[in-house]
Structure 1
Amino acid sequence: MELTVYLAGKIHDNWREELKAMAHENGLPLTFVGPMENHDRSDNIGEEIVGKQPNAILKDEMASRINNLRTEVLMKKADVVIALFGEKYKQWNTAMDASAAITLNKPLILIRPESLHHPLKELSNKAQVTVETTEQAIQVLSYIFE
């Protein structure tokens, strides 16, 4: 059995690569997908496909539509969603992806530091599992294969 895992969450560090390395070290049969991590490509994809937009708002709208389509397709194919929240940035996209996973009835592992317990309590309550570290998330995934 192999699982596809959608990695939602902050894009300002290498947590995805660390999590993938841990999965590999543990011999877990996982395929990872996630949002476009190239920020410029994500922001400019609308204009790359349909051409220059008349203003920044319409540029953002077109890019958002294409990014949302990409996210929905990949998330629907995923068996599990991991959403990681950190303390440094406001992570609206992470919250949106976690909510989408819930709406799509995808099992959700929420990673968040203890300091974010209160602001994420409702979302955490909807997740199947809430942990504080990527290591704990890997342990949860490992347990599936026992």
Structure 2
Amino acid sequence: MGLTVYLSGEIHTDWRERIIEGAQGLDVTFSAPVTDHAASDDCGVAILGAEPDKLWHDRKGAQINAIRTRKAIADADVVVVRFGEKYRQWNAAFDAGYAAALGKSLVILQQPDHDHALKEVDAAALAVARDPAQVVAILRYVLTGALPG
């Protein structure tokens, strides 16, 4: 049995790379959003033309990015959503809700100081992990039945 895992959420740390590296040898295929912040923000106007109003600039980008995101979440067996410490990731919360609505297995990756703010998101998840190593351990257990250590 293999897994397709979508890695959603903050783009400012190396958490994705740590999970992918830790999962080497497991039958896992990973996907993710575009993590180049400028490309993600500007894809709509770069492809469809400039917008003088920032609202429509952002909306064009969000809609183009949603094509990728919806497909990746729909195809995923597991969706991991990382909430970082520094920025509010409204898009990550939206991805978590979308994944939950589709009945996807949802793993949230967050620090304890976000527990109260994310209580509803966490309630929809099958696991709340504190670091990428715990996500890898979850994937290893699901695929092999092996416990850490």
Q: Look up the match of 1:7.
A: 7
Give the Å deviation of 1:21: 0.5
Residue 11 of structure 2: SS of its match in structure 1?
coil
For residues 115 and 56 of structure 2, the distance between their equivalents in structure 1, rounded to whole angstroms, comes to: 36
For residues 34 and 10 of structure 1, the distance between their equivalents in structure 2, rounded to whole angstroms, comes to: 11
Q: Partner amino acid for 1:114?
A: P
Contact map agreement 2:109 2:131 (CA 8 A) in 1:
yes
Q: Partner amino acid for 2:125?
A: A
- Higher alpha-carbon deviation: 75-84 or 42-51: 42-51
Q: Look up the match of 1:131.
A: 129
Q: Partner amino acid for 1:100?
A: Y
For residues 60 and 121 of structure 1, the distance between their equivalents in structure 2, rounded to whole angstroms, comes to: 28
Q: TM-score, normalised by structure 2?
A: 0.91
C-alpha root-mean-square deviation of aligned residues, in Å?
Answer: 1.1
Q: Look up the match of 1:141.
A: 139
Give the gaps of 5 or more residues in structure 2: 145-149
Cα deviation digits, residues 105-144 of structure 1 (max 9, x gap): 1100111112211111111111011121111111111111
Give the gaps of 5 or more residues in structure 1: none
- Could you tell me the percent identity over the aligned residues? 40
Q: Once superposed, which parts of structure 1, at least 4 consecutive aligned residues long, lie more than 6 Å away?
A: none
